[in-house]
Structure 1
Amino acid sequence: MAGGKGDGKVLDIKVTDIKAAAPAFHEQGKNLSKALTALIETLDGLGKPWGDDDQGKQFEDAYSPQQKTIESAAGTLVLGLVSIHEAMVDMADGHIDNELLIQGMFTEIKAPHGDGRGQGGGR
């Protein structure tokens, strides 16, 4: 855009960077999913490990009403990380497809008879 203060680049997308970063989101989504599963199974398996003393009751009063919300939020984060991975892969593939499309627009189109005049261009 004229008059802007940018460096003139519209997009500087490096497909290799996108494809290299995408698996990290998938891996971290799996790790968070494992941690969430371990948290739920451990707390459910232990019952109420925080005890019946004042601190335990304070924790239970704060945690128990929010437990399902916390678990749901963490589950949403897992899905978000996995969907970021999928979106990055799709974006990289789309960028490659777009580059090929643009490249095709600017390749030289050969005339049917190779004389540069096209059909009906005889002398």
Structure 2
Amino acid sequence: MTHAEESPRIQLNHATSPDYGPGAGKGGEVLGIGVPELKLAAPVFGEQSRKLSRALTTLITALDGLGEPWGDDPTGENFAKEYKSNQRSIEQAAGVLVLGLVSIHEALDDMKDGHVDNDDLIKGMFTKVARGHGDRDAHGK
């Protein structure tokens, strides 16, 4: 197995139709994602969100644990104001990334479940059901 085959990346079918208006997609798939790809991708986003969350916690704990190495003179106070503002901005941005990865994980999981449920529903529509001895169809037969 090559490195590319081992990769949990999603491979998309990106053939498109020249028609982007109503009925777009006729003549070619715009996006084709299968259940196996979703099963592979969802846990990757979940794991990466946990890793980023741990890294963010480590960053916050480490920076807060260092204390305030600047003085209380005007230069130190100005530095502290800018530093703390930037630190909080970085923490908030990383928090948004964590939430984004979690939501992608959940969306892929939901999409996978939806595809599986839809496949089961369609199979059920085209599967003959064995009738019992006393069962009759709509015509009484």
Match of 1:105 in 2: 125
Higher RCO by CA contacts (8 Å cutoff, separation 6 or greater): 1
Separation in 1, partners of 2:39, 2:46: 12
Match of 1:31 in 2: 51
Match of 1:90 in 2: 110
Separation in 2, partners of 1:14, 1:83: 19
Shift, 1:88, TM fit: 0.8
Separation in 1, partners of 2:31, 2:63: 48
Match of 1:45 in 2: 65
Amino acid at match of 1:85: H
Match of 1:81 in 2: 101
Shift, 1:61, TM fit: 5.1
Shift, 1:79, TM fit: 1.7
Amino acid at match of 1:17: E
Q: Please give the TM-score of this superposition, normalised by the length of structure 2.
A: 0.61
* Closer/same/farther in 2, CA of residues 77 and 10 from structure 1, 3 Å limit: closer
Length, aligned pairs only: 114
Larger radius of gyration: 1
- Unaligned 5+ segments in structure 2 are 1-16
Amino acid at match of 1:31: K
Shift, 1:82, TM fit: 1.4
Shift, 1:11, TM fit: 5.2
Amino acid at match of 1:71: E
CA RMSD of aligned residues (A): 3.4
Of residues 27, 38, 41, the one that matches 1:18 is: 38
* Closer/same/farther in 2, CA of residues 8 and 111 from structure 1, 3 Å limit: farther
Cα shift readout 1:7-49 (whole Å, capped 9, x = no counterpart): 4336522101111011111111111111111111111111135
Of residues 48, 53, 70, the one that matches 2:90 is: 70
* Closer/same/farther in 2, CA of residues 40 and 71 from structure 1, 3 Å limit: same
Q: Which has the higher helix share?
A: 1
Identity of aligned residues (%): 54
Which is further off, 58-67 or 104-113? 104-113
Local SS of the residue matching 1:47: coil
- Unaligned 5+ segments in structure 1 are none
